[in-house]
Amino acid sequence: MDTLVHQSDEKQASATVHGGAQRPAGHGRGKLRALASFVRNSKAVTAMEAAFVMPVFLGFLFGFLETTMLYFTGSVMEGQVAEAARQIRTGVVQADANPQTAFRNIMCDITVKTFACDEVIIDVRTFPSFGTITYPSVFDADDDPTNAVFQNAGASQVVLVRTYYRWKVVTPLMGYLIGDGSDPAQRTLQATAIFRTEPFS
């Protein structure tokens, strides 16, 4: 019996030396539960951060894209107005049965249509000289383009061409940054050309 007790004491002492203090049962499972809880909490925090950051990020992204399209459309309008104005300067538009429709068709003759051509406001006025040019507003008190005219230019006349397009701002809150002051839901684009027609007959 003494021999058995002695051997048991030796095994316990050996276990203490090699393994240190004995660990309570379930200690490993407790660590796993703590790790799982940490992972769950981390995912929850990440989801909350994404919920706060994502709308702001998307707002900046769509706002950047819309601003880019806005200025691209303005550039396209200027190019098309320059081309249509050249056709007035050479008398091509005036020779058409409906000069205003001919002018609009030239403006709309583009591969990438970034604006609705039927919504473009066209104002063409003729003057005897460059010094007599005036710039009356084409919009009335209700902001309607009731004052727009299309005067058929003759030979060697000074012509003022103005076109307007109301861009509808779709990105939330961007209208307060790029929209018209009176109406943040839109941005009015304008393209202008001033020239003297050729002495065509």
Over residues 100-138, the pLDDT tens digits come to 999 999 998 987 788 898 999 999 999 999 999 999 999
Locate 72 and state its tokens. 């691209």
Averaged pLDDT, 80-87: 95
The pLDDT, as a whole number, for residue 13 is 47
Averaged pLDDT, 45-52: 72
Distances (CA, A) of 177 to 64, 76, 129, 181, 194: 12, 22, 39, 9, 30
Which of 38-42, 67-71, 84-88, 99-103 has the weakest average pLDDT? 38-42
Average pLDDT, the chain: 83
Separation between Cα atoms, residue 88 and residue 100, nearest integer Å: 10
pLDDT tens by residue, 151-164:
999 999 999 999 99
Separation between Cα atoms, residue 141 and residue 149, nearest integer Å: 17
Distance of CA 95 to the CA centre of its chain: 40
- Residue that wins the pLDDT comparison between 33 and 79: 79
Averaged pLDDT, 172-192: 89
| Exposure b/e, 146-167, CB count within 10 A at least 16 = b | eebebeebeeebbbbbbbbbbb
